[in-house]
A and B are shown apart, each in its own frame.
Chain A
């Protein structure tokens, strides 16, 4: 008598948290995640991955010197085109800049700057803004009035104008830019968070905690904060893109990250004159990098927004 073994499907029962995380990952948009991962990887592992130094020019061969200047001994060869041109070489795949430095290496170090500045700046802005928003929404009365008036005033200034103004106080510098971003953008969080808190504060679990004599500080941190995190994360994800563009704009104007650091905005500014010579790639490659990073950040932000805000999910 043939026996058929019942085929019990082999299932792995994972803990719920892991299961939910996997669900999220499976639903996540692949392309932006991939782009972010690649850029993040390039940023973190730049010293290992980059073929050359970010500051030192690439040592040229005698043949390259001869071809460029007419004498065989030169410190560096500037303006070499990408490898798909005749004068380019795979040694410097995207070409060299006006100081003979390898562009690919500088682009990957530049990813560091953009990511660090974009994320840290927005993070600090988020912390300040969220706390102020909670205080304004929850404490009410004078706190609310003062904080909201200041926030309103802060919000009237266009961010680039404000950033340039602040940069002239602090001067150029990577951490100065982070500080500037934090100071310019905190107000974006405050307004939104305050709105959330205003409605949260009427909810039962908050009222219950108050009745039970839980301290206001504890209410803020244990009840309000976790519940505004969804909104905060949405704002955060949208702000990262804007922050990166502001940093690039500041560096472009010369008041952001100073040379010789390879900030993408700075690289574009330095190579504007090369455009007239026809060496378009020097200014365009950093721009493409900015575009990819911001696009990926914005796509992630959009996806997060849809996920976290149930009303939008079916749009």
Chain B
């Protein structure tokens, strides 16, 4: 087990390092940020000073080493466009994205799991088709389309829900509802599918047959045994999806003016704000690598072949 953990940790670190290097290179390919500030009327002295202040006059490998060493200390540098520390700005915004992601997560589970279970229980009937169609619809509608339709219907026409921003207090659920739905809808499709297939597998297993033979009432079989055992792959996928939701909510954040990290990425790219872009993309990658690592370890722990090995 220890060896397994170490190997996986090593692989994760290699992946992380590759990720960091790839992002570093690509971000620098996007263009010269100092030129972005060469507005009409700016003089060369001012621009040279900017270049020096941002460390862009140093050779590339020096910039890379300084970036890597900063990373090791958790420092992502100073944002070009916002002058403050990237880490501070990011951490300031992260709770907003987490709130949105979590809301979408709940919605995707609330929509996906019941439908997936229904599909599995009534497999190959018209209920099953309903489930399948719902899943497909979810995967076929881009999030921004759902968002726009929600804005039209609930925001403009009916006026029930506010169409922008995050709301003043953390308990403002009305601002959260539409963007979370728009984001969660897409992932609910995947939830339906995996719940369905996982449930089918469990329903066909010997364990369930045994429980039925013992005379346990059907609804207990479903609600307790089948449900519990089918949730492992579902929750794994859901966990991964949560992270993805937090990070790919860019378009949703733009439409609903939600101040999350997706907007930071978008702003950073348009301003050629290297440190900001690097920071956001890396944080996304790091979160996913760490989560994958944790899931690997958990699975390994559950699997006795690995747990009991050296």
State the A residues within 8 Å of B (CB): 149-150, 152-154, 156-162, 164-166, 168-169, 241, 245, 248-249, 252-253, 265, 268, 272, 275-276, 278, 280, 283-284, 287, 290-291, 294-295, 298-299, 302, 315
Contacts and interface: CB of A to CB of B under 8 A. Distances in A.
Contact of A298 (B15, B23, B140, B281): B140
B144 A268 contact: yes
19 contacts: A149-B11, A152-B18, A153-B18, A156-B15, A156-B292, A158-B288, A161-B248, A164-B269, A165-B281, A166-B26, A168-B30, A169-B26, A249-B144, A275-B156, A284-B148, A287-B141, A294-B139, A295-B136, A298-B140
B159 to A, nearest CB: 12
Q: 6 nearest interchain CB pairs?
A: A287-B145, A153-B18, A294-B140, A295-B140, A168-B30, A153-B19
Contacts, number: 125
Among A157, A158, A299: residue with most chain B CB under 10 A: A158
Contact of B265 (A152, A164, A276): A164
A72 B158 CA distance: 37
Given A169-B30, A268-B148, A275-B152, A153 B22 contact: yes
Contacts of A276: 156
A313 to B, nearest CB: 12
Chain B contact residues, majority secondary structure: helix
A298 B133 CA distance: 10
B247 A245 contact: no
A298 B139 contact: yes
B254 interface: yes
A299 B148 contact: no
A283 B248 CA distance: 22
In which size bucket is the chain B interface?
Answer: 35 or more
Interface in B18-75: 18-19, 22-23, 26-27, 29-31
Given A253-B251, A302-B136, A164 B11 contact: no
A310 B197 CA distance: 15
B200 interface: yes
A245 B142 contact: yes
Contacts of A157: 19, 281, 284-285
Given A156-B289, A287-B142, A253 B266 contact: yes
A291 B141 contact: yes
Contacts of A161: 247-248, 250, 265, 280-281, 284
